[in-house]
Amino acid sequence: MDPLEMGQKFSLRQELDRDANLQFLPAPDVRKVEKRPILQRKLCIVFGLVAAAVSLSLLTGILVWRFHLHQDMAKPRVYVGSMSIANQRFLSDYEDPDSKPFVKMASLVSQQLRVMYDTNTVLTKYFQRSSVEAFSDGGSDSLTAYYRSEFSIPEPQQDSVDVAVQSLQMAAGSQKSRQGRVLLKPQHSLNVDAVVTKAIDPRMTSSSLLVKKSFNVHVREGGVIQSPGFPDSSYPSNVYLQWRLRADAAHRVRLDFQKLILEDDCQHDFVKIYDSLAPIEQTAIAEHCGIPQHLLSFVSSGNVMLLTLVTNKEKNFPGFIANFSQVPLEPPADCGGTLSGDVGQFSSPYFPSSYPPRTSCVWNIQVSKGKSVKVKFSKFYVGNDSIDCSRDYVEVNGRRLCGSKEGSTTVASRSNLMSVKFNSDWSYVHQGFFAAFEAFIPSDSCPGSFRCSNGWCVDSRLHCDGVDDCGDASDEEECSACAPNVFRCKNARCVSRTTLCDGKDDCSDGSDEFKCEKSGDVTTCSDSSFRCKNGHCLDKVNPECDGEVDCEDASDEEACQCGLQPYRSSRIVGGEASQEGEWPWQVSLQLVGQGHACGASLLSGRWLLTAAHCVQDKGSARHSQADQWEAVLGQHILSQPNEWTVRRKVSRIVAHRHFDQFTFDNDVALMQLDSDVPLNQHIWPICLPSPTHRFPAGQEAWITGWGASRERGVAGSVMQKAKVGIISSSVCNIAMNNEVTDGMMCAGVLKGGVDACQGDSGGPLSVISPNGRVFLAGVVSWGDGCARRNKPGIYTRVSRYRKWIEEHSGI
Ligand code: ARG
C-alpha cells in the first residue's frame, strides 16, 4: 500500500501539490510590483489613498447594513448522512471514488437526495448541493451511501431546517422509496430504506481549515496509521484529515492506539472516531485530545470505521500512531452464552478494548442447586451515568447499571440463576466490564458474621446481645444456649440430636445435615484422599475447584477465585514469549534500587509465594528484610510498566523456618503486600493444590518468568514461558544424586534445552487442570546449571506446604 495513503510519511507541501481533493480558502493574489517614475508613483499613492478611503467607507456601510438590517443573511450549513439502498449491492469498485461505477452510483444518490429535499418545502428552499463521499456494504444485499449536503440557510431558519432534516429521516424509513419511484425514471430508482442526516460537528467546517484530505485504507492485512510527521515533528495546523477504514465483508474494523499526544483542549485539536464512513454525529463513538490515561482501542459494529483528525492554528503536538486490523463479525466468544460451574469470569465484548456500538449480549449463569450467585464487577465502565441507564448498560436480573464505577461492584441473586445483559447503543463507547461470578451458600453469605433473616449481615458479637441489630429481630431469636445433649446449629439454633442426618433441614441452614455420610460419596480417609472441611474424605483425584461440588459442605469448591487465564492462547531457557496477561499470577520481585531479582506467584490480593533462598541475607545484602523488596504485578515487559502494572511494597516476609541453605530443602517463603492488589484479568491469583493433589509424572507443566535465557545469561525483558514435564522423584533422584527430598519435585525436558534459570527462582511451576484451572505445583528452586541434558529443574513441592501456607497466611 502506498505509504502516503496510510499517512505514514506526510510532507504537507508535497501533499498539497499531489492531491486533487484539496479545498483551500481563497488566498489573496500575489501582485507583481514594478518600478515606476517617482512623480507617477506619488500621484498613484494619492489616488490609491482616496480610493481606499472611499471603498473602506462603502464596505463599512455594506457591512453595517448586512449585519444590522439584514440579520437573516444566509449561512452555509453542512449535513452529513448515510442512506441505505435496498435494491443495490456493494461492488468493490465503489472503494475507488474515481471509478466509473462509483461516479454513476454517486450521481444517482445525489439525484435521489435532491428529490427528497424537493418534497420538503423548507429544505427545497435552501438546498445547495450534495456530494457522495463513500459507499459501503450495507449487509443483506444492500448498499450504504455516505454523503454531505450543503444548505444555505438564513440564521433564524436554521432550527427549522434541522427539524426538516430530522423528519426526512423518519419519512424515508416509513414510506420507503415512494418519492424516488415517483420522481426518478424507473430504471434509476433507488429503494431507499433509511436515511440518517445530521449537521456536521461545527469544528469540522471551521473556515480556518486549510486542508481537507481523505485516506482510504483497507484493513485486511493490518497496518499502522499515524498522524503526519509522527513522532519526529508535530502535526500540521488547520487540517481536517480523515481515514476511511474498511474491513472485508462479515468483519469488523479494529483500531488500537499505541500513542496519542494532542493539545489538551478538544475545541482546538482532536481525533474523533465514527462507526460509519462519514462524520455523522449519531455514529460518533469516541473523541479524544490531550494524552489519554487509559488504553484507546475500538471495534466497529460493521465493516467500516472513520478516524478523523482536526487541528487548529496554535499549539501542535506529536499526534498519534494506531494499529488497524480486522476481526470476524461473528459475535465474539465473550458476548453472552450459558455459564455453568460454580465460578467463572466473563466480560463485555473485546474487553479490555472498548465494546463495539450497537451490541447486545446475554449471559445466563447457572450454579449448583441450593446455592446463590454473586457477580463481582472488578472493572465497570459502561456508558455515562444516568438515572434510567437508557443508552449503554448492564442489566442484572432486571436491574440496570451504568456509568463508571471505581472499586468493585457486587450483585447477588437469591436463586442459583442469574441473567446478565449487556447493551450498547449507536454512539460513544467505553471500555466495558470484567466480572467474576461465584456460587455461595446463602447461609454463608455473611462470612464471619451473623446472617439475619432479612439477609443483612451483622457482627456476630451482636447476636443475642438483647438488641435488635437486624431490624427484624432475628439476631435475638432462639438465644438460649443449647443444652449439652442438644445439637447447636451453625446459625446458633439448638435442635435435638435425634434430628441429625435425618434428611430434613431442622436447623434451616442445613448444618444438621452436613456431616452425614452418604453412600458412595465418602470414603474412609487415607493419606491420599481429599479431606473436605467437615473432615470427610473423597475418593476422587484432585476434586478441588474442578467445577463440581464433591464435598457435602462444598468445601472442595470454596475459595476458587484463582487460576483462570483470560488471555491463554494456545526467562526460561528454550522458551518463547508469553502473551500479555497469559500468566496473571506471575510476579516480579525487585530489590529496591536494583530491579528484578526473583519471581513469585500471587495467592490472593495480599499474599505471594516465593522461594526461601530469594529472601536470605547475603553478606551485607539484607534480603530477608521486607523493606528491601517491591513486588510488581500485571507486568509483561520487565522494563515497560503498562496500564495494568501495579507495584506494592512488601510488609512482611515469612520464610520457612527449616529452609536448608545447603540442601535447599523447604525452599518456600510467603510475602505479604502492604495493601491489596486489584484483581483483574492481568492480575489474578493461582490456585493452591491441596496436600493430596496429585501431579503425576509425565504431566505437562509451564514455567514462566524473566530469568536468564541461558546458563550464565542475563535477565530477559518479555516474560517467557516454556513447557516442561513432571518427572517422578525416583527417576529424578537417579539423575540428581539423591538430592531430591520429599519437599521437592522435578520437572523439565530430560534431553535438555528447556529449563528455568537464574532470575526465575521463586516463580511458578503452573499446571493447567483438565477444566482449565491452573494450580501452583512448584516454586522454582534450584538446578544443576540450566537446561543441561539429564538435569531437570528442581521445584519446591507446593502441596507439601499447603498447611504451612495456611498457618502463616490464613489462605
Ligand atoms: N536458583 C535460581 C534463581 O535464583 C533458579 C534456578 C533454577 N534452575 C534450574 N536449572 N531450574 O533464580
Q: What is the pLDDT of residues 152-169, one digit of tens each?
A: 999 888 888 888 888 776
The pLDDT value given to residue 357: 95
Q: What is the mean pLDDT of the chain?
A: 82
* pLDDT recorded at residue 44: 56
pLDDT band at 484 (very low <50, low <70, confident <90, very high): low
Measured from the Cα of 794, ligand 1's closest atom is 11
The values of phi and psi at residue 693, to 5°, are: -60, 135
Q: Which of 353, 761, 781, 799 is catalytic?
A: 761
- When mean pLDDT is compared over 364-368, 445-449, 460-464, 497-501, the highest value belongs to 364-368
Average pLDDT over every residue of 124-140: 91
What pLDDT band is residue 329 in, cutting at 50, 70 and 90?
confident
Ligand 1: residue of 736, 739, 781 to mutate (most ligand atoms within 8 A of CB) is: 781
Residue 755 catalytic?
Answer: no
Report the nearest atom of ligand 1 relative to the CA of 787. Answer: 10
Q: Is the pLDDT of residue 399 over 80?
A: yes
705 CA distance to ligand 1 middle (Å) = 11
Q: Which residues contact 169 (CB under 8 A, 6 or more apart)?
A: 194, 195, 196, 197
Distance 673 CA to ligand 1 centre (A): 24
Residue with cell 429503494: 191
Compute the distance between CA of residue 172 and CA of residue 192 in angstroms, rounded to an integer.
Answer: 7
Q: At what angle do helices 100-118 and 158-175 cross, to 10 degrees?
A: 110
**Residues near 334 by Cβ (< 8 Å), separated by ≥ 6?**
346, 347, 348, 349, 350, 351, 361
Question: Which range, of 54-68, 417-431, 780-794, averages the lowest pLDDT?
Answer: 54-68
Residue 144's pLDDT band, with cuts at 50, 70 and 90, is: very high
pLDDT band at 252 (very low <50, low <70, confident <90, very high): very high
Task: Looking at mean pLDDT, say which of 404-418, 539-553, 650-664, 698-712 comes out highest.
Answer: 650-664
Q: Is the pLDDT of residue 529 over 70?
A: yes
Neighbours of 551 (CB within 10 A): 24
Nearest CA to ligand 1 atom 11: 793
What's the CA gap between 690 and 543, in Å, rounded? 9
Per-residue confidence (pLDDT) for residue 670, from 0 to 100: 98
Is 528 tagged catalytic?
no
Given 392, 665, 667, 760, the catalytic residue: 667
Convert the pLDDT of each residue in 606-621 to its tens digit: 999 999 999 999 989 9
**731 vs 496: CA distance, rounded Å:** 56
- For a ligand 1 pocket test, name from 744, 786, 790, 795 the mutation site with the most ligand atoms within 8 angstroms of its C-beta: 786
Task: State the pLDDT at residue 455.
Answer: 63
Find out whether the peptide bond into 484 is cis, omega within 30 degrees of 0: no
Q: What is the pLDDT of residue 786?
A: 93
Return the best residue to mutate from 588, 750, 757 for the ligand 1 pocket (most ligand atoms within 8 A of CB). Answer: 757
Q: Which residues pair with 326 in a beta bridge?
A: 253
Q: Which of 271, 343, 342, 332 is nearest to 299 (CA)?
A: 332
Dist. CA 711 → ligand 1 center (Å): 10
As a dihedral over the C-alpha atoms of residue 156, residue 162, residue 164, residue 170, rounded to 10 degrees, the angle is -170
Minimum mean pLDDT range among 27-31, 178-182, 390-394, 619-623: 27-31
Averaged pLDDT for residues 306-312: 95
Determine contact, residues 206/232, Cβ cutoff 8 Å: no
Measured in Å, residue 598 CA sits from the centre of ligand 1 at 9
Mean pLDDT value of segment 71-89: 85
Integer Cα distance of 630 and 613 in angstroms: 17
**Half-sphere exposure at residue 116, Cβ-oriented, CA atoms within 13 angstroms:** 32
Question: Distance between CA atoms of 671 and 605, rounded to whole angstroms?
Answer: 11
pLDDT band at 510 (very low <50, low <70, confident <90, very high): low
Q: Residue 132's beta-bridge partner residues?
A: 147
**What atom of ligand 1 comes closest to residue 791's alpha carbon?**
10
The answer to whether residue 226 scores a pLDDT higher than 90 is yes
What three-state secondary structure class fits 374?
Answer: strand
Residue 340: strand, helix, or coil? strand
pLDDT category of residue 566 using cuts at 50, 70 and 90 = low
Which residue, among 189, 198, 137, has the nearest Cα to 168 in the 3D structure?
198
> Taking a C-beta distance cutoff of 8 angstroms, is the pair 790, 754 a contact?
no
C-alpha 723 to ligand 1 mean position (Å): 16
Helix spans in 633-775 (H) = 729-735
Cα 115 from Cα 638, distance rounded (Å): 63
Tell me if the bond preceding 352 is cis, omega within 30° of 0.
yes
Q: How much is the pLDDT for 527?
A: 81
The answer to whether the beta carbons of residues 286 and 223 sit under 8 Å apart is: no
Q: Report how far ligand 1's centroid is from the alpha carbon of 794 (Å).
A: 8
Ligand 1 atom nearest to CA at 598: 12
Shortest-distance Cα residue to atom 6 of ligand 1:
782
CA nearest to 233, candidates 547, 472, 10, 495:
10
How many other CB atoms are there within 10 angstroms of residue 126's CB atom?
A: 20
Torsion of CA 587, 593, 597, 598, to 10 degrees: -30
Query: If pLDDT is split at 50, 70 and 90, which confidence band does 332 have?
Result: low
φ and ψ of 288, to 5 deg: -140, 150
Provide the pLDDT for residue 183: 46
- The mean per-residue pLDDT over the stretch 134-150 comes to 91
pLDDT bin (cut points 50, 70, 90) of residue 715 is: low
| Structural domains for the chain | 75-199 (3.30.70.960), 205-328 (2.60.120.290), 337-444 (2.60.120.290), 576-809 (2.40.10.10)
> Which residue's entry shows cell 534431553?
751
Residue 45: CB partners within 8 Å, gap ≥ 6?
A: none
CA dihedral of 740, 745, 747, 750, whole degrees rounded to 10: 30
Of the residues 613, 623, 656, 693, only one is catalytic, namely: 613
The size of the chain, in residues, is 811
**Distance, CA of 537 to CA of 550 (rounded, Å):** 10
Instruction: Return the ligand 1 atom nearest residue 707 CA.
Output: 12
Ligand 1 probe mutation, 782, 789, 791, 795, most atoms within 8 A of CB: 782
The C-alpha cell that represents 222 in the structure block: 493490518
Instruction: Compute the distance from residue 573 Cα to the ligand 1 centre, in Å.
Output: 11
pLDDT at 296: 87
Q: Name the residue with cell 454517486.
A: 106
How far is 102 from 98, CA to CA, in rounded Å? 7
Bridge partners for 137 per DSSP: 143
pLDDT higher than threshold 50 for residue 446: yes
d(CA 298, CA 352): 10
Q: Are 123 and 149 in contact (CB under 8 A)?
A: no
Neighbours of 278 (CB within 10 A): 26
Nearest CA to ligand 1 atom 4: 761
Cβ burial of 114 (10 Å; 0-12, 13-18, 19+) is middle
Residues 749-786: tens digit of each pLDDT: 999 999 999 999 999 999 998 877 899 999 999 999 99
CA of 688 to the centre of ligand 1 (A): 21
The verdict on whether 413 is a catalytic residue reads no
* 668 closest CA partner among 809, 527, 572: 809
Residue 774 has a pLDDT of 93
Lowest mean pLDDT among 16-20, 261-265, 661-665, 675-679: 16-20
What is the CB < 6 Å shell around ligand 1? Answer: 707, 755-761, 780, 782-783, 786, 793
The arithmetic mean of pLDDT across residues 540-552, rounded, is 83
Nearest residue to 435 (alpha-carbon basis) of 490, 499, 498, 361: 361
Which region among 76-85, 188-197, 356-365, 542-551 has the lowest average model confidence (pLDDT)? 188-197
Tell me which of 408-412, 723-727, 790-794 is least confident: 408-412
State how far Cα 606 lies from the chain centre: 24
The alpha carbon of 615 and the centre of ligand 1 are apart by a number of angstroms equal to 14
The Cα–Cα gap between 481 and 487 comes to 10
Q: Is 563 left (phi over 0), alpha (psi -120 to 50) or beta?
A: left
Amino acid at 618: K
Amino acid at 183: L
- Mutating to test ligand 1, I would choose from 659, 711, 724, 758 the residue with most ligand atoms within 8 A of its C-beta, which is 758
Task: Catalogue the long-range contacts made by 458-464 (C-beta closer than 8 Å, 24 or more residues apart).
Answer: 463/492, 464/492
Please report how many Cα atoms fall inside a 13 Å half-sphere around the Cα of residue 332, on the Cβ side: 20
Confidence grade of residue 559 (pLDDT, cut at 50, 70, 90): confident
